[in-house]
Amino acid sequence: MRSVNLIVIHCSATRCNRRFTVDMLKACHNARFGNKGIGYHYYIERDGHLYQTRDESLVGMHARHYNAHSIGICYEGGLNERGQAADTRTPEQRAALIALLRSLKEDYPQAEILGHRELEGVHKECPSFDCQEYRDYFSGSSVRGTAS
Ligand SMILES: [Zn+2]
């Protein structure tokens, strides 16, 4: 298995009142990366539907310099109606995201969860919210869940 020590969360940087479906994402990334498929490993549409868009064993194309050892997750949205960065996660997306993170943390317990904008050299708002909430969540549960 590929060694994964990082989970990077992204937004699609599209307006919350406009759809950006997984098919639209696929067309976009195929155009951008030369028909190599979607750069993220998972995509969560506004209704909470989770798509695995890339096998976890494959290196992604979502975070320059960090792809080799990371998993990339993206949610549809991240911009408000006026095109400004905003936390537009729907309750369904939040539920799908935490369920996915719980599952990934079982497979990769050592993996750190970071928002794209927290990586060195990134100058954008992606994913438009503070991923500290997930680090807090897992630091709490890992303390309770430690057996040894
Ligand atoms: Zn991003």
- How does the average pLDDT of the chain come out, rounded? 94
Cα–ligand 1 centroid distance for 128 (angstroms): 9
Tokens in use for 110?
Answer: 């050592």
At 148 the pLDDT is 43
DSSP, collapsed to helix, strand or coil, labels residue 14 as: strand
105 is catalytic: no
When pLDDT is cut at 50, 70 and 90, the band that residue 5 belongs to is very high
pLDDT(50) > 70 = yes
Q: What is the mean pLDDT of residues 114-127?
A: 97
Residue 146 falls inside a structural domain = no
36 is catalytic: no
Q: How many domains, the chain?
A: 1
Q: List, for residues 63-102, the tens digit of each pLDDT value.
A: 999 999 999 999 999 999 999 999 999 999 999 999 999 9
Residue 49 falls inside a structural domain = yes
At 141 the pLDDT is 52
123 is catalytic: no
When pLDDT is cut at 50, 70 and 90, the band that residue 134 belongs to is very high
pLDDT(60) > 50 = yes
CATH number of the domain enclosing 97: 3.40.80.10
| Catalytic residue selected from 11, 16, 74, 126 | 126
Q: What is the mean pLDDT of residues 47-57?
A: 98
Cα–ligand 1 centroid distance for 75 (angstroms): 10
Cα–ligand 1 centroid distance for 63 (angstroms): 7
Name which of 57, 58, 68, 76 is nearest 14 in CA terms: 76
Q: Which residue has the higher pLDDT, 144 or 104?
A: 104
Residue 147 falls inside a structural domain = no
Residue 1 falls inside a structural domain = no
pLDDT(140) > 70 = yes
Cα–ligand 1 centroid distance for 32 (angstroms): 15
At 1 the pLDDT is 72
Residue 134 lies in domain: 6-140
| Catalytic residue selected from 36, 65, 69, 124 | 124
Residue 119 falls inside a structural domain = yes
Contact between 64 and 123 (Cβ < 8 Å):
no
Cα–ligand 1 centroid distance for 80 (angstroms): 16
| Catalytic residue selected from 40, 43, 75, 134 | 40
Contact between 101 and 131 (Cβ < 8 Å):
no
Q: What is d(CA 45, CA 90) in angstroms, rounded to the nearest whole number?
A: 9
What percent of the chain has a predicted confidence (pLDDT) above 70?
95
